[in-house]
Homo-oligomer: A and B are copies of this chain.
Amino acid sequence: MNADIISRVRGARPIIHSITNYVTANDCANILLACGASPIMSDDPSEAEDIASLASAVVLNLGTLSERKLDAMMIAGKKANFLSHPVVLDPVGAGASRSRTEAAQKLLANVKFAVIRGNVSEIRALSGEHSASGGVDAASADLGDDALPSRIALAERFASSTGAVAVLSGKTDIVTDGARTCLLHNGNEMMSRVTGTGCQLTSLVAAFAAVSNGDIFEAACTAAAAMGLSGELAAKRLRHDDGSGTYRAYMIDAVYNMTPDILTKGTRYEIRP
């Protein structure tokens, strides 16, 4: 955790190339603008190399995937690797269909990811471990507090085998590079009632990684802390009659108003040896 990364994003305004799904693209662009980054959403193979070259980091998000988008992802990912810019993978729905899982595996085989963020079902599917997929949401058997140790072990194995920092979202967020592991206890259950809060975290991770000076683990922890705390702060503002529609806007508000000081005071996390 390094809360000053927030100031660094606002100072540097890193361009984040996002190849993402059309369900949450608007939220992802708005969360990037809210945190101070500059999004460019583009999914066409014909410009993937140009746009990736312009950007400080690249997000590959597998929601509403198509063959054309996968081509663009391969090109942009390889270009960013060549430029040593961080590439972040969000394997939305991995495990929910054979073709989605295969697409994720093709990307893993061809692109070096700085960070991979998903829920437990998605990470399990990419690990080749069995999971009863609940669509794009995590399978319930994997979600209880009892299963936390097994989720930590999964994330650590996955980080070690891929060489990426793993961000495994859930009630407790797990961030690990295989050696260091951070557990984050912020967040609010309403985050799961708004589409795209996971995609938005992935976008934040990319923005923070873009100004990380090489410590991707620290950047990912800070992004997860900022997102979880924003979810908490948004929930505190809700009044009678408010629900997930208002909450969605309040989450972006909270990221917009986040400061290093607010983050330092509000975040609750532990580093496991």
Contacts and interface: CB of A to CB of B under 8 A. Distances in A.
Interface of A: 15, 21-27, 29-30, 33-34, 38-44, 46-47, 50-51, 54-55, 63-68, 93, 96-100, 133-137, 192-196, 233, 237, 241-246, 248-257
A245 B256 contact: yes
Contact of A243 (B29, B64, B256): B256
Contacts of A22: 22-23, 25
B40 A135 contact: yes
A26 B23 contact: yes
15 contacts: A30-B244, A33-B244, A38-B135, A40-B136, A42-B93, A42-B97, A44-B66, A47-B65, A47-B97, A47-B98, A54-B135, A242-B253, A243-B252, A244-B253, A245-B250
Nearest to A46: B99
A237 B241 contact: yes
B51 A96 contact: yes
Given A40-B93, A41-B64, A55 B135 contact: yes
B256 A193 contact: yes
Contacts of A41: 21, 23, 63-64
Q: For the complex formed by this chain, how many copies does it contain in all?
A: 3
A15 B136 CA distance: 9
A253 B237 contact: no
Contact of A26 (B27, B40, B44): B27
Given A33-B193, A40-B93, A245-B253, 15 more contacts: A23-B26, A40-B96, A41-B63, A42-B64, A44-B66, A44-B99, A46-B97, A47-B98, A50-B98, A51-B97, A193-B256, A243-B253, A243-B255, A244-B253, A248-B249
A245 B241 contact: no
Nearest to A240: B257
Given A254-B243, A257-B243, A29 B195 contact: yes
A241 B246 CA distance: 13
A29 B23 contact: yes
A176 B246 CA distance: 34
A87 B152 CA distance: 39
Contacts of A244: 30, 33-34, 252-253, 256
A173 B4 CA distance: 35
Contact of A249 (B68, B193, B249): B249
